Amino acid sequence: MKILSAEQIKVCDAFTIKNEPIASIDLMERAATACIKHIVKNASIDSEFLIFCGKGNNGGDGLAIARFLIKRNYSVKVYVLNHAENGSEDFKINLERLKELKPEALFYIDKEEDLKPIEITSNTLVIDALFGTGLNKPLSGIVASLVNFINATKIFVISIDIPSGLYADKENVKDDVIVRSSVTLSFQFPKFSFFMPQNGIYFPEFEVLDIGLDKTFIHNIFTPHYYITKSDLQPLLKHRAKFSHKGNFGHALLVAGAYGKMGASVIAAKACLRSGAGMLTVQTPKKGIEILQSSIPEAMVNADSNEELISELPHMDKITAVGIGPGIGTEAVTESVIKKLLNYTLPMVFDADAINILANNKTWLSFLAPDTILTPHVKEFDRLTQKHINDFERLESAKQFAIKHRCILVLKSAYTQTVMPDGNVFFNSTGNAGLAKGGSGDTLTGIILGLLARGYTPPQAALIGVYIHGSAADSALKKIHIESLLATDVIAKLPKAFEKLYE
């Protein structure tokens, strides 16, 4: 799914209106209709709706939604913010329609004193239809006061298209006043700002509503930003032939673990074999061999000559993909292994301490084979590059890094960002905060390694791996509370995640 800028969305709206053709007021009705079924999902029959509307088209959406709710016999009060002398044409049309239907439901806010009579009860639901994606300056005055009033209620807030006060494409500053929604109903596309961690407090969740914008226009317009869903990945999936054998699905090499950190190698190894690799060899310190062979008998183990660290590679002639990093440490003998690996052009995924070693030896980055996958978390990426002021700057830095080093950068976060060597960015749609725990990164490394060995290209393995990892974590929450989620719980749900993706 493409992520368009505010300006591109505006052009897409205009193209649809001209070429469907459809009147802009009717497109607004279509958008409001799409919102209603999601709004009533959060409502009971005795819910009382407070709808706050600006005078632009976002406010027009709110007025249309108000009419639909009134016709469904909900208690509705609409508060129009008099922040501008004139409203948009579609706002004016919907304002007149509401006056004809139920004029007593309409109120106006001109000054802060007008907020005092507004009553909030336990049954109240707020709909935020103040400002949409066209906002280009911070909220102030009575507008900011109203948003602060909404946030202070701490009740369920549904934002229409985008939380009011949040920019669609650029960074807000620290003191900007922004609605803290409970859910945001985004028209046709998610907004770029939704995927920046610093904005997470304004929309714990969002839903994308198809409002029928022109599909040909959407297909043809360029964007470097995408939101990855199940339907995007299904055309990439490989299927096992009836007469296939283990040799058809690759031989993975996992270089992982050190004394006291063998759990990382066990986790990554299990995830790798659960993700389709035909065979797996784990390079391990000599003291780790019993742990691995008792924990995961399906894997082959190559014991390093070093008792506690990894200091060498096995024979590489039959290896088809390499994963390195979980739990290996950053000692000099292990650094030498990374340096040796840079002589190979096999598909590889670098994680954890392998990335930290690269950060300590930045000149080695120029020797990465094209399409090598790196899976840093935010701090690891900053070590590779520099400290970043905000998430917008960090993502731009990630693009430049991937382009410069011809690598695939998997920058882990709530909507993990997979940055390709051409600078395109793919935001993931699965996963939850239960993954914020040790072992999750080792699991992801194993999954991606399994997919690489299985025969997926590095871009495919990165995208599918990130999606499957999050999907398995989501499936695990059906029986395990988010606080208690473990990496092993995620691995146990990998079969379910693959089943859902292949459906």
Locate the domains of the chain by residue range.
6-223, 233-502
Report the pLDDT averaged over residues 333-340. Answer: 98
Which H or E element spans position 14?
helix 6-19
Peptide bond into 285 cis (omega under 30): no
Q: What is d(CA 441, CA 139) in angstroms, rounded to the nearest whole number?
A: 39
- The pLDDT of 96-114, averaged and rounded, is 97
Tell me the residue ranges of DSSP E strands in 13-133: 48-53, 75-81, 106-109, 124-129
Look over the chain and give the mean of its residue pLDDT values, rounded to a whole number: 97
Residue among 415, 403, 418 nearest 463 (CA): 418
Q: What tokens appear for 345 in the block?
A: 């052009």
**7-28 confidence digits (pLDDT tens):** 999 999 999 999 999 999 999 9
Per DSSP, 224 falls in state S
Binning pLDDT at 50, 70 and 90, where does residue 85 land? confident
- How far apart CA 255 and CA 316 sit, in angstroms, is 12
Q: How many CA atoms lie within 13 A of 214 on its CB side?
A: 19
> Over the stretch 347-390, which tens digit does the pLDDT of each residue have?
999 999 999 999 999 999 999 999 999 999 999 999 999 999 99
Task: Please give the average per-residue pLDDT across 23-51, as a whole number.
Answer: 96
- Contacts of residue 288, defined as CB under 8 A and 6 or more positions apart, other chains included, come to 257, 259, 262, 265, 301, 303
Owner of token pair 């709909």: 127
Q: What's the count of helices (H) and strands (E) in the chain, helices before strands?
A: 17, 17
pLDDT given at position 487: 98
**How many residues are listed for the chain in this entry?**
503
Task: Give 468-483 pLDDT, tens digit per residue.
Answer: 999 999 999 999 999 9
Question: Is-above-0.75 flag for pTM?
Answer: yes
Residue 432 banded pLDDT, cuts 50, 70, 90: very high
**220 band by pLDDT with thresholds 50, 70 and 90:** very high
pLDDT digits (tens, 9 = 90+) for 123-153: 999 999 999 999 999 999 999 999 999 999 9
Q: What percent of the chain has pLDDT over 70?
A: 100
Question: What confidence tier does 83 reach under pLDDT thresholds 50, 70, 90?
Answer: confident
Three-class DSSP category at 49 = strand
Q: Is 86 exposed, middle or buried, given 0-12, 13-18 or 19+ CB atoms closer than 10 A?
A: exposed
* Residue range 335-354: mean pLDDT, rounded: 98
CATH of range 233-502; options 3.40.1190.20, 3.40.605.10, 3.40.190.10, 3.30.43.10: 3.40.1190.20
Which residues, listed in sequence order, are joined to residue 76 by a DSSP beta bridge?
Answer: 49
∠ Cα 231 236 240 (to 5°)? 120
Residue 131, pLDDT score: 98
- The reported pLDDT for the residue numbered 491 is 98
Assign a CATH topology to domain 6-223. Answer: Rossmann fold (3.40.50)
Q: Is 110 exposed, middle or buried (0-12, 13-18, 19+ CB in 10 A)?
A: exposed
The tokens describing 364, both together, are 């080695």
Largest CA distance in the chain: 84
The two three-digit tokens of residue 343, written as one number? 């002589």
Residue 187 pLDDT > 90: yes
b/e sequence 493-502, b meaning 16+ C-beta within 10 Å: bbeebbebbe
Spatial separation of the C-alpha atoms in residues 466 and 480, rounded to whole Å: 21
Q: Alpha-carbon distance 14 to 37, whole Å?
A: 25
Q: What is the pLDDT, as a whole number, of residue 84?
A: 85
Q: What type of residue sits at position 362?
A: K
* Alpha-carbon gap, residue 410 to 208, rounded angstroms: 24
Q: Evaluate if residue 42 carries a pLDDT over 90.
A: no
The tokens of 252 are what? 């993975």
C-alpha 103 chain-centroid distance:
42
Q: What is the mean pLDDT of residues 188-193?
A: 98
Q: How far is CA 69 from the centre of its chain?
A: 32
